Chains A and B, each alone.
Chain A
Amino acid sequence: MSSTSTTLEKPNSGTWDGGNEPLKASYGKLMMWFFLLSDAFTFGAFLIVYGLSRHTHLPYTGDPEAFAYSTQWWPIPEKVFNAFPGFHGVDLPLAFVALMTMILILSSVTMVLAVEAGHRMDKNDVQKWLLWTILFGATFLGCQAWEWGHFITGDEEGMLLADGSRIFGANLTVNQYGPPLFADLFFFITGFHGTHVFSGVVLLIMIFINTVNGVYHKRGHYEMVEKVGLYWHFVDLVWVFVFTFFYLI
């Protein structure tokens, strides 16, 4: 009987019975996950806007060789994004954006290595891999700046208008490559993603400084690196979707 009352005395202690972390994640990591979930919905909404806007425009149905820019149809991405710095006038469809994507994916790899080094409490390795990640992230931003610059300036041909004049390049109201909405969406969505990458680089620089100063080493764990890592991988993942929507489909 006495044994019964001692078990009646104790609260349950299963996984979801409280008093522990049922998902084996600290509150900070959980918060990051939930923030990313909501951010995914933000990007999801933008990509749906892209999909629907594109759907309401006619696709180009003629011979791809004979493709010319027109507001009548949505442009073929390979014909728009075919420039590469230093190779002026050469048709290299999607080469530059493929390089950008590679750089961003590489930065994810180095981020994984930084997190792994954090688990080993290896301060020097964390520093090294964070620095590489920062470098790749910044390079990606640089590439994006070039790509934007090129998109804004346009090429020599431009778009022939009905009145015989030509427009060159693109901004939020005029677009040589096709309907204005194409440029609007390009600037908005890659810009919003770029802002995320930029914030990520700032966060990385902040945790890099903290790592160098030994803040995390004194704390006994490198969880902050993991949290920023989650964010960084998310931003990479979003880029994969942006890339697919804008450049591949």
Chain B
Amino acid sequence: MSSTDIHIDHDIHHAHDEHDHHLDQNFFEKYIFSQDHKTIAKQYLFSGIFWAFIGGFLSILFRLQLGWPEATFTFLEPILGGWIENGKLNPEFYLALVTMHGTIMVFFVLTAGLSGTFSNFLIPLQVGARDMASGFMNMLSYWIFFLASVILFTSLFLETGPASGGWTVYPPLSALPQAMEGSKGGMTLWLISMALFIVSQLLGGVNYITTVINLRTKGMSMTKLPLTIWAFFLTAILGLLAFPVLFSAALLLIFDRSFGTSFFLSDIFIAGEALSNTGGSPILFQHLFWFLGHPEVYIVIMPAFGIVSEVIATNARKPIFGYRAMIGSLIGISLLSFVVWAHHMFVTGMNPFLGSVFMFLTLIIAVPSAVKVFNWLATLWRGNIRFTAAMMFAVGFVSLFISGGLTGIILGNSALDIQLHDTYFVVAHFHLVMGAAAFFGMFAGVYHWFPKMFGRLMDEKLGYVHFWLTFVSVYLVFMPMHYIGIAGFPRRYYAWTGFEAFSGFADMNTFISISAILGFTAQFIFLFNFVYSIIRGRKSTANPWHSNTLEWTTPVLPGHGNWPGEIPAVYRWPYDYSKPGSVEDYIPQNIPFSQTQSSNLPQERDFE
């Protein structure tokens, strides 16, 4: 690689780039304990994909139970061993499956895998920096995440099973080891893993924020940043403020579990015996949890917002519609995300007046969300659209975000929530709006930036197959789920066969399960495409999508330090697509206005 023998010009604010000169790194420095943000991003991506398949597989297991409650699953014995008893899935293990599916998907895939991958990969490349502010802390962040992963993965193999009190781990169920099998060792490992995960997120987060503030290249003002960077920046701030509160809650829960305190415990009888714990409040845990938990859903979805904005603008060959409104709505969503947490708790017996306050604040979020949707649609409007696989997923994202977002308006109403709380309606809502949508954002990102990551293109045909199968099966899974929820099916129940009222929905559950299996299977097409393209994919050029942002000004495979010569300076915003009077239909950010006299707008001449 030619870019390895470069000598980088030091300008003042990039003075800490000394590590660019380590020319001969050994295997460990280069691929394992690498401090290069691109390698760390790939490590996050591989870990995220690994976890996504585990998480998906767990969901298929419990969908089997839900779809065919009367069937026997002896064929699963080779994998699940003792968890299959007389051909039936152990009910406690079912709860563990649900819990671990949630934990893995929310934290390990859609937080670490999505934000970890793309924040790491894109922030330095798109703001024009050699690397993250602190490469060492960045590496530490990944390896602490790895440790958290190992601990959580280990808990899957415990004899008493992994944590099974739901991904929200409400006490007292999670606090009392005698409450259920999953609250024994599994829960302890869950808490340790989560504490480490939070540390990793904080290390990553301070790095992202600092890099965006301090390491922007010359001319890259905050209003010339690509929307991806704005999204990652605000996501990191959300994580920085929300995760510590979960950390507090987890520490207190650890003390309740292991050292006999009563922060969340009071007046509990087990088998007629009163426990000595008095004075605590389990509702308090819910407040602490959801103070993280609600921002967390935006931590999951906002990187997808950014990626989708970028992919849609590039592939519609049009400037993003309402660039500043996009930033404003991101900021609005970020602020609001901290004041709506109690809408997860409408039925905890809280004061109805307080409920109406949280309802009001929750419904306001519909406004910035609608601004974003409107702007995406307006960007597509009369665009010169190129249907790349990334574009398909980006448009699919907008569709899912609308479908899932609409039911959010229903659920945000405290009166309607009494009926719908903890039913499959909620499950359908958040899987569409933050689960599947965030996955689509992630897929869009992988297809779009794959050439910059691996220097090769992913196969478009397989991408289309993957897209359509995934898109269709997501809707086939989650649309019927709304009806089941309205009918009153509660979440997390092992079987409904005991309830006469629900027997009419057995077919629908079977249908959902079949669709889920179809959707999961389709992901193997992606996996094949991903792995195959890394090795054998068509070679890419430096800027295959004719995109404007700075990462495409690097060589096909950027080396350590990203740009062989000087870092390019930035003159214009990142969305000069199809500018009237311009020769090409894109003008990268690093092209000065002096070179584009034919397309400069009158006010741009005055600007400078």
Contact = CB atoms under 8 A, between A and B. Distances in A.
A7 B608 CA distance: 6
The bracket for how many chain B residues form the interface is 35 or more
Contact of B252 (A11, A13, A18, A49): A49
Contact of A184 (B214, B218, B255): B255
B183 to A, nearest CB: 19
Interface in B33-85: none
A18 B128 contact: yes
B219 A21 contact: no
Contacts of A71: 278
Given A30-B213, A34-B240, A41 B245 contact: yes
Interface string A217-238: 0000000000000000000000
A206 interface: no
Nearest to A181: B279
Interface string B203-230: 0011101110111111111101000000
Interface string A15-39: 0111111110111101100110111
A37 B216 CA distance: 23
Contacts of A48: 288
Nearest to A13: B218
Contacts of B278: 71, 179-181
A30 B219 contact: no
B592 A34 contact: no
Contact of B255 (A20, A23, A41, A188): A188
B133 A27 contact: yes
A140 B465 CA distance: 66
Contacts of B127: 18
B248 A42 contact: yes
B263 A49 contact: yes
B605 interface: yes
Given A18-B219, A19-B13, A45-B288, A27 B240 contact: no
Contacts of B245: 41-42, 44-45
B219 A8 contact: no
> Which of A49, A57, A185 counts the most B-chain CB atoms under 10 A from its CB?
A49
Given A19-B218, A31-B210, A172-B255, A45 B605 contact: no
A112 B562 CA distance: 40
Interface residues of A, number: 51
A22 B243 CA distance: 27
A53 interface: yes
A237 to B, nearest CB: 16
Contacts of A34: 205-206, 209-210, 240
Contact of B594 (A5, A13, A22, A44): A5
A16 B240 contact: no
A49 B255 CA distance: 14
A221 B221 CA distance: 29
A46 B214 CA distance: 32
B247 A27 contact: no
A37 B277 CA distance: 33
A184 B262 CA distance: 7
Contacts of B308: none
A38 B240 contact: yes
Given A18-B128, A18-B217, A184-B263, A52 B281 contact: yes
Given A18-B217, A31-B210, A39 B279 contact: no
Given A11-B571, A20-B13, A31 B217 contact: no
B241 A41 contact: yes
B22 to A, nearest CB: 20
Contacts of B16: 27
B134 A31 contact: yes
Interface in B489-548: none
Contacts of B360: none
Contact of A23 (B134, B213, B288): B213
Interface string B270-288: 0000001111110010001
B244 A12 contact: no
B280 A53 contact: yes
A56 interface: yes
A14 interface: yes
B369 to A, nearest CB: 25
> Which of A5, A11, A188 counts the most B-chain CB atoms under 10 A from its CB?
A11
B247 A21 contact: no
Contacts of B262: 180-181, 184
A173 interface: yes
Contacts of A22: 213-214
A4 interface: yes
B288 A18 contact: no
A34 B249 CA distance: 20
Contacts of A9: 592, 594
Given A8-B593, A49-B263, A188-B261, A38 B210 contact: no
> Which of B137, B216, B243 counts the most A-chain CB atoms under 10 A from its CB?
B216
Given A41-B244, A53-B281, A14 B594 contact: no
A223 to B, nearest CB: 12
21 contacts: A9-B592, A11-B570, A17-B219, A18-B127, A18-B216, A18-B218, A19-B216, A19-B220, A31-B137, A34-B205, A38-B240, A45-B244, A46-B252, A56-B281, A71-B278, A173-B260, A179-B279, A181-B261, A181-B278, A185-B263, A188-B255
Interface of B: 11, 13, 16, 127-128, 133-134, 137, 202, 205-207, 209-211, 213-222, 224, 240-245, 247-249, 251-252, 255, 259-263, 276-281, 284, 288, 291, 569-571, 592-594, 605, 608
Which 3 residue pairs of A and B lie closest in terms of their CB atoms, listed nearest first?
Answer: A11-B219, A19-B218, A18-B216
